[in-house]
Amino acid sequence: MPEAQANIAAEVTLALLEAIKTRDRPREFLDDDIYRTMPRRFGLSAVVERQIELYRQRARKNVRLTTAELAEFMELVIRRPDSAEIFREMGAALAAKQLPGRAWWLPRFLRLHRTKKKIRSSLRRLFGRRIGGFASGTFVFEVSASPFVQVDRSGDACEIVTGYCRQALEKCVDPGMAVTKRRCENRGDGVCRWVADFDA
């Protein structure tokens, strides 16, 4: 993400921080050893709580952030073994907030057409630039020179798109549709490509 302009919506960083917090909720009840159970994960820290509140305020004010600011938070996640899951949950949360509900009165192909247009425009609004487009096929989304690959050479950050597309189709087209990443620039492919399986 080399650009220096403040072009990324604060909602993007907010979704990442909230995904970290959700992921780091303790699975056990607190016991007498409070020093063991309370501070055990980063997402439960007061630092994250303060950052979440800060970015909620920025989102309400439509503040835009630089790519470097977002990259700093992403780098915290990239080091984690569950980074792919966090990025996927982040993408799903963004789609849940950004996209309209399912228009049941429309035939499925029109719901799909409407959703693809919303995905393109919503990602552009969130990231301040064009993030991919649709190739021929029922649902084939491609990103070249991915800003996520530029931050994370492992490819885990691309799961933002996986989560976003899955949630978009679940919310706007039909439930239970599978979206898988079929190609990746990190593997030497020309593009990152996601395909939806409408028969899954």
For 129-169, what is each residue's pLDDT tens digit? 999 999 999 999 999 988 888 888 888 999 999 999 999 99
Q: The whole model's pTM is what? A: 0.85
Q: Of all residues in the chain, what percent carry a pLDDT higher than 90?
A: 56
Rounded Cα–Cα distance for residues 94 and 54 (Å): 18
Question: According to the model, what pLDDT value does residue 45 have?
Answer: 64
* Residue of higher predicted confidence among 94 and 1: 94
Rounded Cα–Cα distance for residues 8 and 65 (Å): 5
User: Which whole number is the average pLDDT over 81-100?
Assistant: 93
Rounded Cα–Cα distance for residues 106 and 39 (Å): 49
Question: According to the model, what pLDDT value does residue 64 have?
Answer: 95
Question: According to the model, what pLDDT value does residue 187 have?
Answer: 87
Question: According to the model, what pLDDT value does residue 76 have?
Answer: 86
Q: How many CB atoms lie within 10 A of CB 178?
A: 12
1 has a pLDDT exceeding 70: no
Window from 2-16, 57-71, 86-100 with minimum mean pLDDT: 2-16
Window from 18-32, 58-72, 120-134, 136-150 with minimum mean pLDDT: 18-32
**Torsion of Cα atoms, 63 then 12 then 131 then 140, to 10°:** -150
Amino acid at 31: D
List, in sequence order, every residue forming a beta bridge with 8; answer none if it has no partner.
65
Q: What is the 3-state secondary structure (H, E, C) of the chain?
A: CCCCCEEEEHHHHHHHHHHHHHHCCCCCCCCCCHHHHCCCCHHHCHHHHHHHHHHHHHHHCCCEEEHHHHHHHHHHHHCCCCHHHHHHHHHHHHHHHHCCCCCCCCCHHHHHHHHHHHHHHHHHHHHCCCCCEECCCCCEEEECCCHHHHHCCCCHHHHHHHHHHHHHHHHHCCCCCEEEEEECHHHCCCCEEEEEECCC
Please state, rounded to an integer, the average pLDDT across all residues of the chain: 85
Rounded Cα–Cα distance for residues 156 and 45 (Å): 24
Rounded Cα–Cα distance for residues 35 and 47 (Å): 17
Question: According to the model, what pLDDT value does residue 12 have?
Answer: 96
pLDDT band at 30 (very low <50, low <70, confident <90, very high): very low
